[in-house]
Amino acid sequence: MKKLIASIFAVCAIAFTANAQFYFSGSLGLNVNGTKDASSANFHIDPGIGYQMSDATAVGIFLSLGGGSGFEWSLNPYFRYTFADVSDFHFFADARVSLGQISKTFCWGVGILPGFAYSISNSVDIVTHVACLGVKGYGQTTVFRFNLLDGASVGMQFKF
Residue-wise pLDDT for 52-81, tens only, equals: 999 899 999 999 998 877 788 999 999 999
Going from N- to C-terminal start, the domains of the chain cover 19-159
pLDDT single digits (tens) 75-93: 999 999 999 999 999 999 9
C-alpha angle 4-7-13 in degrees, rounded to nearest 5: 145
Angle formed at CA 145 by CA 140 and CA 147, multiple of 5 degrees: 145
Name the 3-class secondary structure at 88. coil
Q: How far apart are the first and last CA of the chain?
A: 24
Residue ranges of the chain whose pLDDT lies below 50: 16-17
Task: Please tell me the predicted confidence (pLDDT) of residue 132.
Answer: 84
CATH ID of 19-159, from 2.40.160.20, 3.40.50.2000, 3.30.465.10, 3.60.20.10 = 2.40.160.20
**In sequence order, what DSSP letters do the residues of 7-55 get, joined into one string?**
HHHHHHHHHHTSSS-EEEEEEEEEEEEE-SS-EEEEEEEEEEEEEE-SS
151: which DSSP letter? Answer: E
Distance CA 66, CA 35 (A): 21
